[in-house]
């Protein structure tokens, strides 16, 4: 339901954002929604707009590809993946804009998939060969930087923390095979 709402709101952004801007948007990608704002990638940069399409603005502007933007649960940060230095790494930027900060520095591609509920850690997937060569594993990295921590499932591609659980519980969807989920208890992320 959330994905449908984000898609509908992103469509409204394209229709009502102003005639000159709306005409140039052809395929906005990777939308995320938080508290009346939509963040998305377009032409390799991260953009932010109000849900009614007003006040669109570019948050990043460089020759690299910035993709998969995700709001932190508190709405203060936007995490995204960028290939500014060759491969995709995790970056974070204030939701109001500013200079992006690089958080991962591995030669494998790191793709942002979400946040911890406390907005202190970014969840990403990477095929670093932790358990099985070439199979993506889930990791968490602090917004303050430092070493990333592998999350307990043996492998996983997309994940989110359950808002219903009293402790940290993650849901991981395998990258191939049947559309099943794996539920794993995870200890609180230390940072």
Q: Which tens digits make up the pLDDT trace of 170-186?
A: 444 555 544 344 444 44
Report the pLDDT value the prediction gives residue 14, as an integer from 0 to 100. Answer: 47
* DSSP one-letter string for the chain: -HHHHHHHHHHHHHHHS-HHHHHH-S--EEEEEETTEEEEEETTEEEEEETTS-S-EES--SSS-EEEEEE-TTSSEEEEEEEEESEEEEEEEETT----EE----SS-EEEEEE-TTSSEEEEEE---SSSTT--EEEEEETT----EE-SSSS-SEEEE-SS-SS-EEEEE-SSSSS--EEEE-PPPP-
Distance from C-alpha of 36 to C-alpha of 52, rounded to nearest angstrom: 8
Report the pLDDT value the prediction gives residue 24, as an integer from 0 to 100. Answer: 55
CA 25 to chain CA centroid, nearest Å: 21
Report the pLDDT value the prediction gives residue 105, as an integer from 0 to 100. Answer: 95
Give the residue ranges of the chain where pLDDT is below 50. Answer: 1, 3-10, 12-23, 168-172, 177-188, 190-191
Distance from C-alpha of 17 to C-alpha of 26, rounded to nearest angstrom: 13
- Answering whether pTM is above 0.85, one says no
Condensed to tens digits (0 to 9), the pLDDT of residues 50-70 reads 988 788 899 999 999 999 999
Report the pLDDT value the prediction gives residue 174, as an integer from 0 to 100. Answer: 53
Q: Give me the residue spans of the domains in the chain.
A: 2-158
Report the pLDDT value the prediction gives residue 94, as an integer from 0 to 100. Answer: 97
The answer regarding whether domain 2-158 maps to CATH 2.120.10.30 reads: yes
Report the pLDDT value the prediction gives residue 16, as an integer from 0 to 100. Answer: 41
Q: Do residues 181 and 171 lie in contact, with contact meaning Cβ atoms separated by under 8 Å?
A: yes
């Amino acid at each position: 339901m959330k994905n449908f709402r984000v898609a509908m709101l992103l469509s409204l952004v394209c229709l009502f954002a102003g005639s000159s801007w709306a005409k140039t948007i052809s395929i906005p990608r990777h939308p995320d929604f938080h508290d009346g704002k939509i963040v998305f990638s377009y032409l390799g940069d991260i953009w932010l707009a109000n849900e009614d399409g007003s006040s669109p603005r570019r948050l990043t502007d460089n020759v690299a590809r910035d993709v998969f933007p995700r709001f932190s649960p508190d709405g203060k940060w936007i995490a995204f993946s960028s290939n500014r230095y060759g491969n995709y790494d995790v970056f974070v930027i204030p939701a109001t804009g500013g200079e992006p900060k690089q958080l991962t520095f591995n030669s494998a591609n790191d793709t942002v998939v979400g946040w911890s509920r406390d907005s202190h850690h970014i969840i990403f997937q990477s095929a670093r060969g932790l358990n099985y060569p070439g199979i993506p594993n889930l990791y968490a990295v602090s917004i303050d930087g430092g070493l990333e921590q592998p999350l307990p499932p043996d492998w996983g591609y997309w994940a989110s923390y359950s808002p219903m659980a009293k402790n940290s519980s993650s849901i991981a969807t395998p990258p191939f095979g049947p559309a099943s989920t794996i539920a794993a208890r995870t200890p609180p992320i230390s940072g």
